[in-house]
Structure 1
Amino acid sequence: MFRLNWTLSVHIRDYLHRYMPSNRLLTAIRTRRGLKWGIPAMLIALPYILIASICSGVAADGGPGWLHLIVLWACWNALKFILMGPASIVLLIRARLRESAIRRHQRHDWRVEARLREPAVRL
């Protein structure tokens, strides 16, 4: 039973990750080139919040109950985009520190090689 649940959840996650536009956009933001778009992507949460507000109001005024599912979906997507902003800053700082360390090591290796290539001075 546990294996069936695990397999089902993996397949659902793969489907949602592959075909849902918000998940595809978040995946693109998590790349090194896309990290700079994390803060502007937080603005995408605004339409989701608007959708949640409208559907919540309609459901509260006697609308169909399934609108609560849309409210849940919109709040979840808004939360994902709101959290992606600070997360992208952390990931960008980590990437830049890693790149800086690589450049520093390359400069150090270049200096060592340059010293080894210098002819030895004999007295």
Structure 2
Amino acid sequence: MFRLIWAASVRTHTILSYAPSNLLLAVTRTRRGLRWGIPAMLLAIPYLLAAHWCVTTIENGGPGWLNLVVLLCAWNAIKLILNGPVTVVLLLRARVREAVARCRARRPDYGLFGLPVGVMG
């Protein structure tokens, strides 16, 4: 039974990794895409509006399966909202690493006796 559940979760993860919100999260987690994390948070608004519309439709006698759409929209909105601060932290961390690498590249390499390498002859 456990093996069946595990296999189903792996297949579900594989299928859902191609969902648009998951692709957007993957793009914003790259070094080049980190600066787009905060603007990508704005894409949570359409998800929240869709969830609100579905809830209103359900309350007015709509089909019950729209509850799944509400759950999906709310989950995607939460993911996008939380992705913004995460990408800010990752961007700051990447910029600090790059600054340290630039500093180390400018600093001369010192040898055994405290002289720059290449001077000792």
**TM, length-normalised to structure 1:** 0.87
**In structure 2, what is the Cα distance between the partners aligned to 1:85 and 1:119?**
51
Query: Share of identical aligned residues, percent?
Result: 51
1:1-123 alignment, distance < 5 Å: 1-17=1-17, 19-108=18-107, 111-112=108-109, 115-118=116-119
**In structure 2, what is the Cα distance between the partners aligned to 1:11 and 1:100?**
41
Which 10-residue stretch deviates more, 35-44 or 111-120?
Answer: 111-120
Report the alpha carbon displacement of residue 22 of structure 1 after superposing the two structures with TM: 1.0
Corresponding letter in the other structure for 1:39: I
Report the alpha carbon displacement of residue 119 of structure 1 after superposing the two structures with TM: 6.5
Corresponding letter in the other structure for 1:82: I
- 2:117 aligned counterpart, secondary structure: helix
Spell out, residue by residue over 1:65-93, the C-alpha distance to the aligned partner (whole angstroms, 9 max, x if none): 11111111110111111001001001111
Report the alpha carbon displacement of residue 11 of structure 1 after superposing the two structures with TM: 1.6
Instruction: Work out the number of aligned pairs and report it.
Output: 117
Which 10-residue stretch deviates more, 49-58 or 5-14?
Answer: 5-14
**TM, length-normalised to structure 2:** 0.88
Question: Which stretches in structure 1 are left out of the alignment for 5+ residues?
Answer: none
Report the alpha carbon displacement of residue 3 of structure 1 after superposing the two structures with TM: 2.3
**In structure 2, what is the Cα distance between the partners aligned to 1:103 and 1:47?**
41
Question: Which stretches in structure 2 are left out of the alignment for 5+ residues?
Answer: none
Q: Structure 1 runs of 4+ off > 4 angstroms?
A: none
Corresponding letter in the other structure for 2:6: W
